[in-house]
Structure 1
Amino acid sequence: MSARSLVVVSAGLSQPSSTRLLADRLTTATVERLSGFGVETSVEVVELRDLGHDIINNLITGFPSPKLSAAVESLTAADGLIAVTPIFTASYSGLFKSFFDVVDPSALTDLPVLIGATGGTERHSLALDYAMRPLFTYLHSVVVPTSVYAASSDWGTGADGGTGALPDRMSRAAGELAALVRDSERSSRVIDPFALPAGFSPVGGYGAQ
């Protein structure tokens, strides 16, 4: 079986970041599951905090920087995606949404995606289902059934494994993603991540603003 590529998008703003921590735990669990399937996996992490200026400039000018272009090309050629964002005002962060706005809407078709989010309290967990899942459904990605939300209390006192049901949710979600990535045929596709001017649509969307 050929190797698989996994891209991890983390939209955490602080350093260290609980968002990145969750992304790392999900990545480790997924790679372990793929290894159990006999699949070798390469991982690339995209830290959106390092691409903030590039993303905004691209939305304004329509032209990606080399650094942003490389991140988008890696994403659109990947066999699987782990996407994790902090929840701000009951939804994903603006930086998270802006990054996916610069990707051609058809470039993530059939991409297996595991969605995760972090927040201060458990009451924001529904944002995964009413905000994040519809975003990737619109992009025609294949979102795994189990999403993972981690509140501050889930990490307990030692930030390594998580407490309560969090490790179980991470394990279940990682297993679902690994199964899809194992069977992915996206590596054989030829994808142009900038088939349209980044973030613009010929009818409606940014082009009409």
Structure 2
Amino acid sequence: MKLVVVSAGLSVPSSTRLLGDRLAAAVSGRTPAEVEVVELRDLAVEIAHNFTNGFPGRKLSAAQQAVTEADGLIVVTPVFSASYSGLFKSFFDVLEQDALAGKPVLIAATGGTARHSLVLEHALRPLFAYLHAVVVPTGVYAASEDWGAEGLDGRIERAAGELAALMSGLGSARPAQDDLAVVPFAEQLAALRPAG
């Protein structure tokens, strides 16, 4: 099987690419897959030219083919102005209209603060639903404070299991009962009160 990671990170190293790599490793650990990474920053000029002349360059054409032929996709974007990056959106704008129809997709994003975590639900999920992809139930958002913190690994594993199950044709993966512990909101608020 072929798993393609589309990363819209702009810096080197990039937390966006790091999240994509961690997700890909988790999926590959559950189902054998050849992983290919598409770095959109390397395609920015060709994407812009595709908009103006209607033809993809050689690298962009190869990236489009990889995405179209993939058995599963992991798409990761940094958050800019409370949504996905323009480069991320532009890449999916230059794909063939039905390129993602029925394709399993895991959505993920990175940002400086947890306040942007809803970008998965208000921006990415609707975009891929419009493109007729099959988006796994669990999206993964990583804020700066999430790296090395409790919880990120569990979200990565849960989402990877869901994508691996779809890629293998097993339908949606059912998490184990203790897979995701839910902390009541009252307890979360109590933990924020100053000790006194």
Q: TM-score, normalised by structure 2?
A: 0.85
The equivalent residue for 1:147 is 139
SS in 2 for 1:55: helix
Per-residue deviation, 1:20: 0.3
For residues 149-199 of structure 1, the C-alpha deviation after alignment (integer angstroms, 9 at most, x for no partner) is 0000011xxxxxx31111000000000000001118xxxxxxxxxxxxxxx
For residues 102-150 of structure 1, the C-alpha deviation after alignment (integer angstroms, 9 at most, x for no partner) is 0012111000000000000000000110000000000000000000000
Per-residue deviation, 1:6: 0.5
Consecutive aligned runs of 4 or more in structure 1 exceeding 6 Å deviation: none
State yes or no: 1:167 paired with 2:159. no
Equivalences for residues 107-122 of structure 1 within 5 A: 107-122=99-114
For residues 11-68 of structure 1, the C-alpha deviation after alignment (integer angstroms, 9 at most, x for no partner) is 000000000000000000000011xxxxx31111000000000000001110000110
Name structure 1 gaps, 5 residues minimum.
Answer: 35-39, 156-161, 185-209
Write the distance in 2 (CA, Å) between the matches of 1:25 and 1:56.
29
Pick the structure with greater CA Rg.
Answer: 2
The equivalent residue for 2:177 is none
SS in 2 for 1:110: coil
Structure with more relative contact order (C-alpha pairs < 8 Å, separation 6 or more): 1
Count of residues in correspondence between the two structures = 170
Equivalences for residues 52-201 of structure 1 within 5 A: 52-155=44-147, 162-183=148-169
Write the distance in 2 (CA, Å) between the matches of 1:59 and 1:96.
14
The equivalent residue for 2:23 is 26
Write the distance in 2 (CA, Å) between the matches of 1:105 and 1:133.
17
For residues 59-93 of structure 1, the C-alpha deviation after alignment (integer angstroms, 9 at most, x for no partner) is 11100001100110110011000000000000000
Name structure 2 gaps, 5 residues minimum.
Answer: 171-196
SS in 2 for 1:33: coil
Q: TM-score, normalised by structure 1?
A: 0.80
